[in-house]
Amino acid sequence: MVMQNDHNQAAHPNGTHRTGEENLAGRRLVVMSNRAPIRIVREGSHERIEPTVGGVGTTFLRLLEHHGGLWIAWSGGQKTPPRLPFPPGHPQFAMSFVQLGERDVSQYYYGLCNRALWPLMHSMISNCHFNGSHWRQYVLVNERFAERAVAEAGAGDAIWIQDFHLALTPAKIRARRSDLPIGIFWHVPFPPVELYMVFPWREELLAGMLGADLVGFHTHRYAAHFLDACERVLGAQVDRRSSEVYYHGRSTRVLAFPLGIPVDYFERLAANPATLERAARIRRALRSEIVVLGVDRLDYTKGILERLLGFERFLEDNPAYHRRVTLVLIAVPSRTKVTDYIMLKRQVDESVGRVIGRFSSAGWVPIRYLYTQFGAEELVAHYLAADVALLTPLRDGMNLVAKEFVASHPGDDAVLILSEFAGAAEELTEALLVNPYDADAVAKRIKEAIEMDPAARAARMRALREKVHDNNLERWSASFLHALAGDFTLEAHPASLASAD
């Protein structure tokens, strides 16, 4: 969630810094993603480069800066150079920009990616909008990315494709370059096959992904769903013991790699005197004994409306906590041109207004609503200022906010309430897990978190911090590259032997 540009490295348990580059065995790494990790800002006749990445993008920047290689992506703008050495002044690798026109952005990105695949992958069928022209543009853009990779990749390069925007790209590269190791990581959930089958181009999407040697997911459940889909939709042979799919004479390995965060980065920020002072100012400004925090992009998958209903129920059921508890709701603007998101913004505004109108009294306002995007320091200050994190996604690939919150509380003095439908819930079992659709359950969890014995609170957070440390961001990238290189024993986790659902 944090937009940070720090090029820190998390320490490997043996005391060395492991970024995954040793797993490439001399291969050049080619990273492919929809968006580039930088943007070119024009000010008059001058241009400057700004990083736009979060933790995952920072890891890839570090990999390429240390090892060399290439990043293929759309720049996010219309007028960009075809190639850019990076970092400026001391180039270690290159960025190769795929140009997207207005039709591409409208139909491929806002259309197929954001209005079809995004809700489908999050099991929200009612939000899906399927359009044949959007699909055709998606195919064309994936073809463009594949052509660029084929033109740029040298013999023996390794290609790591990111996310659902480029699902067809593996097979399109494979058709032209059978010599290249290809991996794709799916940063969102993968739905149960019964839901996936509503997608009109279900066969083509799966076949595109199976052009890779390795398909990675956040959790065993998502990997198992993908195996089910390959078996039932494509009729592919699936070996669940080895977690392999055999299709059209090739095999593809399907493994779980839970995404981590740069833990040391958050710990340094949390220990910074300026951040601590900012957290204290936030507490003083709120004038509240207990602070509950929710941080999300404003997205219908994040359960923000359900969180508000649960907090409202808590206030209804616990009048003794009026004027003592404040919910700080940070909603980061997202996809502001998409109709579903415009409607969600209106609903959240109305819900916040309703709760404030019902319960405000004597200078106390129960919700502080911040519709903005914070930098890393400000966000960590809010993490530190909070006693409870309330994260209630209806479906989430991982939810890195949960891990960031844990890493930002080295004093083990807070409680994490987490939706059982977040990918992180599979790891962070010491959190107070909750069904976000059940307002009564959310209200009870808030009360439980507030009243938890300090020793029990510390024990839970200590266990959570150990898990976040053990599976950090660098470990994630190293695990994937190990598996792509053919070592499936180290850090690689096959899907469960049976279907998850």
Q: What is the largest CA-CA distance in the chain?
A: 71
CA distance 404 to 442: 21
Q: Which of 396, 409, 469, 482 is catalytic?
A: 396
C-alpha 142, offset from chain centre: 21
Helices (H) and strands (E) in the chain, counts: 17, 19
Peptide bond into 87 cis (omega under 30): yes
Half-sphere exposure of 14 (CA within 13 A, CB side): 4
CA gyration radius, the chain: 23
Q: What six digits make up the tokens of 441?
A: 């359950």
- 487: annotated active-site residue: no
Whose tokens are 């480029």? That residue is: 166
Give the DSSP letter string of 228-287.
HHHHHHH--EEETTTTEEEETTEEEEEEE------HHHHHHHHH-HHHHHHHHHHHHHHT
CA distance 398 to 56: 12
Q: Which of 187, 220, 382, 469 is catalytic?
A: 187
Which residue, 264, 238, 267, 234, is CA-closest to 251? 238
Contact 345, 298 (CB under 8 A): yes
CA distance 358 to 364: 12
CA distance 20 to 62: 10
CB atoms within 10 A of CB 151: 10
CA distance 8 to 20: 14
- CA-based torsion, 190, 193, 195, 199: positive or negative: positive
Half-sphere exposure of 399 (CA within 13 A, CB side): 32
Q: Long-range contacts for 315-324 (Cβ within 8 Å, ≥24 apart)?
A: 315/355, 315/358, 315/359, 315/366, 316/443, 317/443, 317/447, 318/443, 318/447, 321/290, 321/447, 321/450, 322/359, 322/361, 322/364, 322/366, 323/361, 323/362, 323/364, 324/288, 324/289, 324/290
CA distance 350 to 445: 24
Alpha helices, DSSP H only, in 68-131?
Answer: 102-103, 118-121
Contact 225, 196 (CB under 8 A): yes
CA distance 60 to 4: 13
Which residue, 394, 437, 399, is CA-closest to 416? 399
- 322: annotated active-site residue: no
Active site positions, annotated: 187, 396
